[in-house]
Amino acid sequence: MRLTILRHGETDWNASQRIQGQQDVPLNERGLAQAQAAAAYLQTQDFDALYSSDLRRAVDSALPVSRALNVSIQTDKNLREWKLGILEGLLRTEAAEQHPQVYEIYNQQQPDGLIPQGETIRERYQRSTQAIEALCVKHPEQQVLLVTHGGILDNWYRYVNQIPLEAPRDWVLNNAGISQFEKHQGQWSMLTWSETGHLADIGSLAFW
User: Catalytic residue positions?
Assistant: 8, 81
Q: What whole-number distance in Å separates Cα of residue 38 and Cα of residue 36?
A: 5
DSSP line for 147-182: EE-HHHHHHHHHHHHT--TTSPP-S---TT-EEEEE
List of long-range contacts for 162-165, beta carbons under 8 Å, 24+ apart? 165/111, 165/121, 165/122, 165/125
Q: What whole-number distance in Å separates Cα of residue 62 and Cα of residue 145?
A: 9
